[in-house]
Amino acid sequence: MKGRWKAIAVLAVAAAVVAVVAGTAAGAHRGVSSKSAGGTLNIMGFGTNGDDVAKNRTAIAEKAVAPVKVNLPNGGFNEQQFLTDLASKQVPDLVYWDRSYVGTYAAKGALMPLTSCIKSQHIDLSQYRQAALGPVTYKGVVYGIPEFFDVRTIIVDTNVADQSGVTGKMLNTQNLNTLKAAALKMYKHNGGQVTRIGFDPKLPEFFPLWAKIFGVDILSKNGLVPHLNDPRAIAALTYANSLIQAQGGYNAFLAFRNTWDFFGGDNQVAKNQVGAWPMEEWYYNVLASVSPNVHVAAIPVRNHIGGIVNYSTGSAWSIPKGAANTAAACKWMKAMTATKTWVTVANIRKAKYAQNHQYWTGLFTANSKADAIINKPTSGEPKQWASILNTVEHAEKYSFAIPASPASAEFTTAWTNAVNRVLQGQQSPKQALDQAQKEAVAAIKAATK
Q: Which chain residues interact with another protein by CB under 8 A? A: 1, 3-4, 6-7, 11-12, 14-16, 18-19, 22-23, 79-80, 83, 86-87, 104-105, 108-110, 192-193, 203-205, 250-252, 254-256, 258-259, 407, 409-410, 413, 416-417, 420-421, 423-426, 443
Listed in sequence order, the residues at least 6 apart from 74 whose beta carbon sits closer than 8 Å to its beta carbon are 47, 48, 49
Contact 226, 216 (CB under 8 A): no
Alpha-carbon torsion, ordered 229, 233, 234, 235, to 10 deg: 150
Residue 175 Cβ, how far from another protein at the closest point, in Å? Answer: 27
DSSP-derived letter for residue 322 is: T
Query: Amino acid identity, residue 414?
Result: A
Residue 443 Cβ, how far from another protein at the closest point, in Å? Answer: 7
Q: Between 16 and 125, name the residue whose CB sits nearer to another protein.
A: 16
Burial class of residue 356, CB neighbours in 10 A (0-12, 13-18, 19+): exposed
Residue 344 Cβ, how far from another protein at the closest point, in Å? Answer: 32
Contact 317, 133 (CB under 8 A): no
Q: Between 285 and 420, name the residue whose CB sits nearer to another protein.
A: 420
Contact 189, 178 (CB under 8 A): no
Residue 273 Cβ, how far from another protein at the closest point, in Å? Answer: 12
* Widest pairwise Cα distance in the chain: 92
DSSP β-bridge partners for residue 157: 296
Residue 130 Cβ, how far from another protein at the closest point, in Å? Answer: 26
Residue 80 Cβ, how far from another protein at the closest point, in Å? Answer: 5
Q: Distance between alpha carbon 49 and the CA centroid of its chain, in Å?
A: 18
Contact 371, 390 (CB under 8 A): no
Q: Between 207 and 385, name the residue whose CB sits nearer to another protein.
A: 207
Q: Between 370 and 419, name the residue whose CB sits nearer to another protein.
A: 419
